[in-house]
Structure 1
Amino acid sequence: MNSTTVLRSAIFSVCSLFGIQAIACETQPNQPAIYKNPDCSFEARADDLLARMTLEEKISQMMNAAPAIPRLQIPAYEWWNEALHGVARAGAATVFPQAIGLAASFDTHLMGDVASVISDEARAKHHDFISRDSRLRYQGLTFWSPNVNIFRDPRWGRGQETYGEDPFLTAAMGVEFVKGLQQTDGKYRKLDATAKHFAVHSGPEANRHEFNAKPSERDLYETYLPAFRALVQDANVKSVMGAYNRVNGESASASQRLLQDILRKDWGFKGYVVSDCDSVEDIYLFHKIVPTAAEAAALAVKTGDDLNCGKTYAALKEAVDKKLITEQEIDVSLKRLLLTRFELGMFDDAKKVIWARIPYSVNQDSSHDQLARRAAQKSIVLLKNNGILPLSSKQKNIAVIGPTSDEIMSLLGNYYGTPAAPVTILQGVRAAAPAGTQVNYARGVDLVEGRDDPRAAPIIEPSYLRPDANSKEQGLKGEYFRGRDFAGKPIFTRIDSRISFRWDRGSPTDDAVARGEIKTADAVPADNFSVRWTGQLTAPTSGAYEISVAANDGMRLYINGALVIDSWDLSARLQSKSAKIDLQAGKSYAIKLEYFEDIRDAEVRLSWRLPNSKPGVEEALDLAKAADVIVFVGGLTGDVEGEEMTVNYPGFAGGDRTDIHLPQVQQRLLESLKATGKPVVVVLTTGSALAVDWAKKNADAILVAWYSGQRGGNAVADVLWGTENPAGRLPITFYKGDEKLPAFDDYSMHNRTYRYFTGEALYPFGHGLSYSEFKYSNLKLNKKAVRKQDEIQVAVDITNTSNRDGDEVVQLYAQPVAVKKEQAIKNLRGFVRVHLKAGETQTVHFTLKPNKALIRYDLASKQYVVDKGKYQLQVGASSSDVRLHDVISVK
């Protein structure tokens, strides 16, 4: 850029700042249109483009699938993208622990690192798609994450997407996530984040399209709004998504109060609002607020919803014709959408946008994989330990038992990408076991009662597979083709160690593209592909084997040239077919598996049951009796808890839960394992709280692994053997099994979460143990009599009194003394995760401002206030484990 251009750009910036149209940005002969001129301000360019569009063109750009406008050289753009814990639904991407697991780390620095990696992969993937002129869903730069709803009830299936039950923790983690996504180079923004679902939304899933949430004003302002406000005012989040349900009678996607009065007027939000998908349609179909699509579309735009995920805004032309809305009102919303596309650099030469230079090779980079493992390590919560952990090399026989031990879905949760080499907990334990340690595995039971799981049979391990008779490699040769007919040469060939894949809306060769092994143009497509695996199968023992293939769509299995399984029909539903085959120990058999995928969510598994295999529970108990220690891995997966699902098993309904206990079929197995007299370590995979009362009393140790991401199995094993010292903390309360929870659809916070719960928790918010021990001492406050605007400096010494290094999460709570007005029992107001070497002491500092930390919402004045009086500041290891406290007085 020469000096004249630099000067002109500076003039444009100043003019734009003061609302003056720069002369050089006026339409001039032989000059590009203003909207095409990268030297003009984004504001001027958006105004210019808007002025050139017809009403029909404007309306077309206000829905998530915005079509191209060739006459204006506007490319098509799909606004819908997801990045909850990694770039989702766009093929290969690094998968980090689910959001609830990231929250359990209580580590905002980690969250920033994770978000930065996600944004790198997102930009790289976007520009790779654009280079192929692919502009489909899940390929853009506008991401509908994070979810900062409050996890107020453990039964909510989508609670796993949140940062837990506390507004302060949710805000802290959410702000770092947004900052990591929305980095800027001074001109162009890297990505857009979206704070969702504004503002009162946390189930039930089954009736979310017609439900009316009725929070009190106090709950609205003290629980449901604070995290959103923080993301708007502290992180400058560029997008906010409305919710499906009504809030006190108004659709959350067409609410004058939420979207205009609170979001824009009170908080100063300058970005754009997007509806949840088809929630504008709900306004007239289910909420019955207005009778027609045109009226619903007009109402949504007029009350502040700029972008419609769905197609209801197609009725805006009719709404204008009927004078329900003006074109000028439509312009207000559309300008916000055009402005963000300019700010993201979508209309400019990619060479001018530094984010466009991020190479595709960053996707699933080894450093990202290492960060995924570190994030999983930091998220694991040790609930109980009687001394059995960490395991030692003296324990020579480990029995890994349970339905989520070797299940990829127990790592992923929901809204996930496709990891290149996910490590299940069984794989992680086997990889970490000391030399000479035998690790045996039995699934034991299914996840829930009455579920016929096609994935039930054990996967054939790599040690029994060879790509050919003379090879020393383990696994089968995989040949990947376009289409279902295996025509021509394969696009890509590699050795796959285990045939256990779940490609969520992505290509099976995305990881090969990321590693530079093939070009993106040569990648196998995400749909309509086939794979042929060939090699040698060796049996460990002689007898009749039951070999099975579970797959979406079609599969064929050949043994020694004979077709033994034939299911080459198209089926979107996961199905399993099996065949009984006699095999001799030590003998190699030619094996060929052909698989064809037609629609999204490809999945295929090659499994077997050995001769004379006993029923699941019997097999598990036999292994348990011979073991030195039992590692039970169970809980939930995203197959039974999640967003608006059709699941209807005992204890589950529509993606939500009706029972917070461990599923009964698993509980019975767990009790049988303990009855063997062997020590039992329980590892829970879950996105929500589980009432594990029995395990608390009877198990020797309990770990919560959450949905731990692509390296979750390694992370769990690291903790089990003590190469990683656990320090995760519960971001939610674990209630006792007999606790009578408030009605699920009651949005009052009364007796919910640690802030209002008056009972005794099974495990409290903030709880988590370590292999180290820590002493708290020397609590100091810089002042004890304060005014509302003062700063209170809190310092406390933390000493690692053990002989091993470890992390401690130091938590600060504020509790009013002699409460006169109804408010929370206590509130988290600070946390620091600190690493201490054995014997080391560090001083941890907190800064509190009463006008932020001690506020409550006053119904009379309709504003936040600080009551005069005394407040106890508590420092401790959980909301219930207060180590030190002192009292301040607010004048």
Structure 2
Amino acid sequence: MGYAKLEDTQLEYGIYKVIPVIRHFIDYDGPDNGRFSFNAIISDADLRITYLPVWKKLIDEKAIVGIMSAISAVNGIPSAANKYLLNDVLRNEWNFTGYVISDCDPVADIQKSFHYTATLEQAVAISVSSGNDINCGGEFKLLHQAIKHGFVNFDTINLAISRGLRSRFLSGNFDPIGTDPYSSIPYSIVDSLEHKLLTKQIVSESIVLLQNPKQILPFDITKIKQIAVIGPSSNDITVQAHTYHGTPSKWITTLDGIKSIALKYNVNVVYTWGASRRNNSDEDFPHAIELSIESDIILFVGGLDESFEEEDTDRNTLELPGGQLELIKLIIGLNKPFAILIISGSPISEPFFVNKNQAALLWMSYFGQSGDAIADILFGFSVPSGCLPFTIPMNTSQMLPIDDYSMNKSPGRTYRYLNYNQAPPLFPFGYGLSYSKFTFISKLIIFPNKINNLDTDIITNISIINEGPFRAQYVIQLYYEFLNSTVIELPIRELLQFTKITFEKNEQKSISFTFRIRNIPNSNRQQIPGIINFWIGNSRDRYAQATLVIDFDS
């Protein structure tokens, strides 16, 4: 939902401080267990409507210099040898001028796992000839054999080399030693207060409040004598670091953050791990319940860790693993102020939380170094403003198999295609609550509300007031649907634009979005002339809506 333009990394020195490389291109969404031999079957419609556009956006905005090809195959062709994707689409259609690098095993797997070629020499030749310029592994050392046997020529290799070298020139790698302006930046700058506050802000703004019965949150620190912090993720940096991470000068866990604030208010903090993510052991349940009974408020921090969501690993359930749910049920039964924080990189679905509706519920992804941001949210020094980046289904029965890449097969994949009547989600894409109260004080206005030209500038406007007790941010999301659409390949609904706005207490603001119908993806295939419905809310809930009529004869 966001990207940084590459120009932003150049700063004042004219060379890139960071070379953005995104992986994996393309259609590498699982299964991860067996990925070295998996073949994703994808229709051209799904490629063009769903899987390719986000990559094209990155390239059009010059947001990346490099791309890593995928591990699995697409429509029978290994990704590291897929000329259609790496050359025809990426270079010829989109004019991508950067380089493509393979992951560390896929070039060998062209021959070993997919049996797409008879020899490794042929595999490296077809990979580089298809537009895969650099090999993370060691197979490209066989290129001299491939040349000798006539499988590839020097012009092809020179082209690949030039693409790789270009990125090194762009980053100043070949400038005279001592002239790189970034090499003299001390660690004290990298680890500065300004940067620490930025990481804290990122964490704070990404936390999603899913439910908050009886305004359990924020906890009033001035009325608390003791807080019990329970759960396997409360004091565990593995749910902060996950895989492929740097190491900060200091890790601040959720427990650390809570203790830091509690100390200032003379509040006692007690902690135990309570339940395991890895097994169903209840050995610490009695201790966790004892601490909960003694405390004024209770926080459970759990979810997943890298062992559930790392390479070669697929989940077979959306439920909380180990003994976490059973312990949570026991704590809910105490009828005390209780909040649950789920930390995971993918959906956790426990309808019990929603049906019981006796605990506040928050979700966030693996969050890096700044657990103090979580404490600020819990005690109301910051206000949740995050929105779900995915749909949380009720259970796995609402999901297509992981190896089925079809978007519109019933009940539909992602919020764009999901039939909410057939598979009502536990929480929809874009969902997120606030401690404050935002009220729409006007209808959603569309001007003009009737057009006869697809290039007409359309402006939507709505007025919102923050009537709650907090200064807070709010994400305004604009969705659309083509009424009476008969093209089953196209999405049912889609997020068109969004913005996050800060509101002071009692502040009223007017928010506008501007767009053209011609620029809506695939509008040239939709029911036009016709009616388009727009709404403000999330992918399911419509807080304000209006229609636009397209009539070429008006």
Contact 1:199 1:243 in 2 (8 A): yes
Question: Separation in 2 of the partners of 1:350 and 1:368?
Answer: 28
Contact 2:22 2:68 in 1 (8 A): yes
- Deviations along 1:335-367, one digit per CA (max 9) or x if unpaired, are 111222122211112554443443343222221
Question: Separation in 1 of the partners of 2:467 and 2:498?
Answer: 20
Contact 1:810 1:875 in 2 (8 A): no
What is the match of residue 329 of structure 1?
156
Are 1:257 and 2:257 matched, yes or no? no
Contact 2:483 2:533 in 1 (8 A): no
Letter in 1 for 2:444: L
Are 1:844 and 2:511 matched, yes or no? yes
Which one of 311, 316, 322 corresponds to residue 643 of structure 1? 311
- Deviations along 1:552-581, one digit per CA (max 9) or x if unpaired, are xxxxxxxxxxxxxxxxxxxxxxxxxxxxxx
Q: Summarize the alignment of residues 824-843 of structure 1 with structure 2, pairs less than 5 Å apart.
A: 824-843=491-510
Are 1:781 and 2:439 matched, yes or no? no
Contact 1:734 1:765 in 2 (8 A): yes
Contact 1:381 1:729 in 2 (8 A): yes
What is the match of residue 659 of structure 1?
317
What is the match of residue 337 of structure 2?
679
Which one of 676, 681, 689 corresponds to residue 347 of structure 2? 689
- Deviations along 1:610-656, one digit per CA (max 9) or x if unpaired, are xxxx9411111111111222111111112332122xxxxxxxxxx22
Which one of 466, 471, 476 corresponds to residue 810 of structure 1? 476
What is the match of residue 459 of structure 2?
793
What is the match of residue 888 of structure 1?
548
Are 1:755 and 2:396 matched, yes or no? no
SS of residue matched to 1:828: strand
What is the match of residue 532 of structure 1?
none
Q: Which has the higher contact order (CA 8 A, sep 6+)?
A: 1
Letter in 2 for 1:704: W
Q: Which runs of 5+ in 2 are unaligned?
A: none
Larger radius of gyration: 1
Are 1:400 and 2:64 matched, yes or no? no
What's the CA shift for 1:420? 1.5
Which one of 176, 181, 205 corresponds to residue 32 of structure 2? 205
Which one of 224, 238, 259 corresponds to residue 65 of structure 2? 238
Q: Summarize the alignment of residues 531-550 of structure 1 with structure 2, pairs less than 5 Å apart.
A: none
Question: Separation in 2 of the partners of 1:187 and 1:700?
Answer: 52
Cα distance 1:623–1:178, how it changes in 2: closer, same or farther (>3 A)? Answer: farther
Letter in 1 for 2:532: Q
Letter in 1 for 2:105: D
What's the CA shift for 1:194? 1.2
Question: Separation in 2 of the partners of 1:438 and 1:347?
Answer: 57
Are 1:767 and 2:428 matched, yes or no? no
What's the CA shift for 1:205? 0.8
Question: Separation in 2 of the partners of 1:848 and 1:415?
Answer: 38
SS of residue matched to 1:625: helix
Question: Separation in 2 of the partners of 1:633 and 1:236?
Answer: 36
Are 1:193 and 2:23 matched, yes or no? no
SS of residue matched to 2:95: coil
Contact 2:485 2:526 in 1 (8 A): no
- Deviations along 1:513-563, one digit per CA (max 9) or x if unpaired, are xxxxxxxxxxxxxxxxxxxxxxxxxxxxxxxxxxxxxxxxxxxxxxxxxxx
SS of residue matched to 1:176: coil
Question: Separation in 2 of the partners of 1:761 and 1:740?
Answer: 8
What's the CA shift for 1:754? 0.9
Which one of 282, 285, 288 corresponds to residue 620 of structure 1? 288
Question: Separation in 1 of the partners of 2:177 and 2:511?
Answer: 45
- Deviations along 1:103-126, one digit per CA (max 9) or x if unpaired, are xxxxxxxxxxxxxxxxxxxxxxxx
Which one of 447, 450, 468 corresponds to residue 277 of structure 2? 447
Cα distance 1:214–1:738, how it changes in 2: closer, same or farther (>3 A)? Answer: closer
What is the match of residue 855 of structure 1?
522
What's the CA shift for 1:322? 0.7
Question: Separation in 2 of the partners of 1:718 and 1:767?
Answer: 21
What is the match of residue 425 of structure 1?
254
SS of residue matched to 2:306: coil
- Per the normalisation by structure 1, the TM-score is 0.59
What is the match of residue 533 of structure 1?
none
Question: Separation in 1 of the partners of 2:92 and 2:34?
Answer: 31
Which one of 266, 287, 302 corresponds to residue 634 of structure 1? 302
What's the CA shift for 1:738? 6.0
What's the CA shift for 1:747? 0.6
Letter in 2 for 1:771: Y
What's the CA shift for 1:700? 1.8
Question: Separation in 2 of the partners of 1:255 and 1:379?
Answer: 36
- Deviations along 1:259-292, one digit per CA (max 9) or x if unpaired, are 1111111111111111122211110010110011
- Deviations along 1:595-617, one digit per CA (max 9) or x if unpaired, are xxxxxxxxxxxxxxxxxxx9411
Give identity over the alignment, percent. Answer: 32
What is the match of residue 437 of structure 1?
267
Letter in 1 for 2:471: D
Question: Separation in 1 of the partners of 2:431 and 2:63?
Answer: 32
Question: Separation in 2 of the partners of 1:320 and 1:749?
Answer: 42
Letter in 2 for 1:830: Q
Letter in 1 for 2:479: Y
What is the match of residue 726 of structure 1?
384
Letter in 2 for 1:756: Y
Letter in 2 for 1:885: Q
Contact 1:242 1:276 in 2 (8 A): yes
- Per the normalisation by structure 2, the TM-score is 0.93
Question: Separation in 2 of the partners of 1:804 and 1:666?
Answer: 32
Question: Separation in 2 of the partners of 1:445 and 1:426?
Answer: 16
Question: Separation in 2 of the partners of 1:880 and 1:812?
Answer: 12
Contact 1:812 1:873 in 2 (8 A): no
Letter in 2 for 1:425: T
Letter in 2 for 1:870: G
Letter in 2 for 1:631: L
Q: Summarize the alignment of residues 567-606 of structure 1 with structure 2, pairs less than 5 Å apart.
A: none
Contact 1:194 1:239 in 2 (8 A): yes
SS of residue matched to 1:845: strand
Contact 1:874 1:883 in 2 (8 A): no
SS of residue matched to 1:656: coil
Are 1:743 and 2:397 matched, yes or no? no
Cα distance 1:450–1:298, how it changes in 2: closer, same or farther (>3 A)? Answer: farther
Letter in 1 for 2:447: N
Number of aligned residues: 538
SS of residue matched to 2:326: helix
Are 1:388 and 2:49 matched, yes or no? no
Letter in 1 for 2:10: Q
Q: Which runs of 5+ in 1 are unaligned?
A: 1-168, 452-613, 645-654, 857-863
Contact 2:391 2:427 in 1 (8 A): yes
SS of residue matched to 2:81: coil
SS of residue matched to 2:416: helix
SS of residue matched to 1:277: coil
Question: Separation in 1 of the partners of 2:187 and 2:51?
Answer: 39
Which one of 103, 107, 112 corresponds to residue 276 of structure 1? 103
Letter in 2 for 1:707: Y
Contact 1:817 1:869 in 2 (8 A): no
SS of residue matched to 2:114: coil
Cα distance 1:183–1:265, how it changes in 2: closer, same or farther (>3 A)? Answer: same
SS of residue matched to 1:260: helix
What is the match of residue 875 of structure 1?
535
What's the CA shift for 1:781? 2.2
Are 1:703 and 2:532 matched, yes or no? no
CA-atom RMSD, angstroms? 1.9
Question: Separation in 2 of the partners of 1:686 and 1:445?
Answer: 16
What's the CA shift for 1:871? 4.2
What is the match of residue 176 of structure 1?
4
Cα distance 1:803–1:450, how it changes in 2: closer, same or farther (>3 A)? Answer: closer
Contact 2:212 2:360 in 1 (8 A): yes
Question: Separation in 2 of the partners of 1:326 and 1:854?
Answer: 40
Question: Separation in 2 of the partners of 1:739 and 1:278?
Answer: 34
